[in-house]
Amino acid sequence: MEHSLPLITTMAAGFGLALILGFFAERLKIPALVGYLLAGISLGPATPGLVADAEIATELAEIGVMLLMFGVGLHFSLSDLLAVKRIALPGAVVQMGVATVLGMALAAWWGWSLGAGLVFGLSLSCASTVVLLRALESRGFLETMNGRIAVGWLVVEDLVTVLMLVLLPPLAGILGGSLETPDKAISLWLTIGLTLLQVAAFIALMLIVGRRVLPWLLWQVTQTGSRELFTLAIVTSAISIAFVAAELFSVSFALGAFFAGTVMRESKFSRRAAEESLPLRDAFAVLFFVSVGMLFDPAVLFNEPIRVLGVVAIIVVGKSVAAMLLILMFRYPLNTALTVAASLGQIGEFSFILAGLGLSLGLMPAEGVSLVLAGALISIAFNPIAFAAIDPVSNWVIKHSRLARRFARRDDPFAELPMSTERKYLEKQIVLVGYGRVGRRIANALNKQGIPYIVAEQNREKVEDLRQQGVAAVSGNAAEPIVLVQAHIAKAAMLVIAIPDSINARQMAKAARTLNPDIEIVLRTNSEDESELLRKDKIGVVFFGKEELASGMINYVLQRVKP
């Protein structure tokens, strides 16, 4: 008995091929996303063999986009952006502008319309969140200052891209798309205004009603004790809000799901929501990348190799060089510039969403989608090589270039204490490394006791803010002896390392003991194994987070139940 089950066939083939090719991609130290795209190419009409149902794949991709954007919203952190706003906000906007202009220039050279060039350039300008976070996590860069700048930069790119997703549909007719051109009586600015008004109404509804109703609903579901119902509530919220946004406010599914995620993040269930929805989000995200791969025509690699090279050059070279120059202009060191440049030298999910939207609006030719996909495949595959080359390239350039050595040691006004710094901060003071959540609490306690201290912090914006508050602070990585020298470690009473970085902590302790053999060192760690090793090395007094939490709870319990 023969069965016609295109949905099951498409899902089985998509998941199966994605698993196999994703596995081989990871074994080759390439992001699995490349394997998913190759699986889609294999199932697409441009390659021989099994051809999956394109219409069903497209619908599955829509669900994938919703859940993918819901996940982006869940992880969207305004605090990450605010921590590096002075560099990430202008830097990302300018860098996206440069990439978009380069893409438009290339498209104009090929004879494409203004609208096609705009969508094409925007598609090349936004890096992949998935690829970036995986790359930073695998190299331990995520919690570093360089990693925070890259993540903050990407947050701005995501916000700009979301705005473009809102504005492109109403402007499609004006930009030369296949949709009907709006009535001439309606001006361009009125069209934009009406669109933004609809979006604002949706956002207001989400912030006012959604922020109260959604947590309340999840709390009711949680009280049932059913994990399945909680997961169902999360997925239903994401898809339903996206659908309502599209039907009532003419907002895209992607934007609706994104704001559903941002509202969910504000609730106390955000962490659990992220954990419970992760498997489903990952599964449909795979189908999204597979469906995108089905749109790719491999013939473009052979028929238009020069165009493919031009696209790759904009992504890998144009974007990276623009980002690097911007960061150097902001007086950050060369290593930071190279790290952020490597982070942004690729494109991914937002590029596919933009290119797909441009195709559906009649703005982007099918060849443009193939070129974007070719650029994504090549740039994502090259990205690990770019990260691996950061240190060798930095060391070689610094060794052979006097200008590079100047960039490596920036003449940063925040890297030195002002000459007017009071003497009490220069002798018998505490050097506090890191001004995050832990460092801030330690500083507040020292302020209450009137104990002088100097903060050593990699985030220049935090150092600038601290100095405006009258706090003695220096900018830089305290693992470098020069930073500790500027903090007057030689005459300090204590070094307090408030960041959980055991590798750099050892370097800080070694430098501090070299400059001040009698200094007392206090440090923290989030790992039990690391805490044992640090104690064995007798670096200083080690505080392990969970151990201190247990100790505090034990003391409280014993005090309450004292006979």
Whether 424 and 382 share a structural domain: no
pLDDT at 313: 94
Whether 382 and 328 share a structural domain: yes
Handedness of CA 56, 57, 60, 62 (dihedral sign): negative
Say if residues 410 and 476 touch (Cβ distance below 8 Å).
Answer: no
Whether 423 and 381 share a structural domain: no
Whether 322 and 210 share a structural domain: yes
Whether 256 and 388 share a structural domain: yes
For 468-504, write each residue's pLDDT tens digit. 888 888 888 888 888 888 888 888 889 998 887 777 7
DSSP 73-88: HHH--HHHHHHTHHHH
Per residue, what are the HEC states of 323-367?
HHHHHHHCCCCHHHHHHHHHHHCCCCHHHHHHHHHHHHCCCCCHH
Whether 525 and 385 share a structural domain: no
Which amino acid would we find at residue 467? R
Residue 5: inside a domain: no
Least confidently predicted of 123-137, 242-256, 359-373, 467-481 = 242-256
Say yes or no to pLDDT of 148 above 80: no
CB-based burial label for 58 (10 Å; 0-12, 13-18, 19+): middle
Identify which has the larger pLDDT, 97 or 57: 97
Q: Is the pTM of this model over 0.85?
A: no
- Structural domain that includes position 525: 419-560
Residue 431: inside a domain: yes
CA-wise closest residue to 143 among 483, 496, 499, 542: 499
Residue 409: inside a domain: no
Identify which has the larger pLDDT, 403 or 394: 394
For 334-378, write each residue's pLDDT tens digit. 778 888 888 888 887 788 888 888 888 888 888 888 899 889 888
Whether 380 and 430 share a structural domain: no
Say if residues 327 and 336 touch (Cβ distance below 8 Å).
Answer: yes
Say yes or no to pLDDT of 211 above 80: no
- The C-alpha angle 228, 233, 239, rounded to 5 degrees, equals 125
- CA dist 20 and 13 (Å) reads 11
Mean pLDDT across 289-298: 81
The partner residues of 164 in beta bridges, in order of sequence, read none
Whether 378 and 271 share a structural domain: yes
DSSP 443-488: HHHHHHHT--EEEEES-HHHHHHHHHTT--EEES-TTSHHHHHHTT
CB-based burial label for 448 (10 Å; 0-12, 13-18, 19+): exposed
Top-ranked range on mean pLDDT: pick from 140-149, 243-252, 542-551 = 542-551
For 134, the token pair is: 């995986």
Residue 273: inside a domain: yes
pLDDT at 184: 45
Whether 366 and 434 share a structural domain: no
pLDDT at 99: 93
Say yes or no to pLDDT of 76 above 70: no
For 31-55, write each residue's pLDDT tens digit. 788 888 888 888 888 777 777 776 7
For 171, the token pair is: 């402007």
Residue 546: inside a domain: yes
Say yes or no to pLDDT of 107 above 90: yes
Whether 290 and 369 share a structural domain: yes
For 22-33, write each residue's pLDDT tens digit. 899 888 878 788
Residue 404: inside a domain: no
For 431, the token pair is: 């050097």
Top-ranked range on mean pLDDT: pick from 184-198, 232-246, 442-456 = 442-456
Residue 311: inside a domain: yes
Q: How many domains does the chain have?
A: 2
Least confidently predicted of 157-171, 233-247, 406-420, 529-543 = 406-420
Say if residues 96 and 322 touch (Cβ distance below 8 Å).
Answer: no
pLDDT at 312: 93
CA-CA-CA-CA torsion for 78, 82, 86, 90, nearest 10 degrees? Answer: 10
Whether 362 and 494 share a structural domain: no
pLDDT band at 413 (very low <50, low <70, confident <90, very high): low
Whether 211 and 348 share a structural domain: yes
pLDDT at 121: 93
**Residue 454 phi, psi (nearest 5):** -125, 130
CATH at residue 455: 3.40.50.720
